[in-house]
Amino acid sequence: MTYLSKLSPGQKGVIVGFTDDNPMARRLFELGIQPGRSVVHVRNAPLNDPIEVQVGANCLTLRREDASIVTVEVDN
Whether residue 76 is predicted with pLDDT greater than 70 in this model: the reply is no
Domains of the chain, by residue range, sit at: 2-74
> pTM, whole model, 2 decimals?
0.88
CATH number of this structure's domain 2-74, picked from the four choices 2.30.30.90, 1.10.3720.10, 3.20.20.10, 3.40.47.10? 2.30.30.90
pLDDT in tens, 51-71: 999 999 999 999 999 999 999
Q: Mean pLDDT score of the chain, rounded to an integer?
A: 94
CA separation for the pair 5, 39 (Å, rounded): 12
Count the neighbouring beta carbons within 10 Å of the beta carbon of residue 16: 16
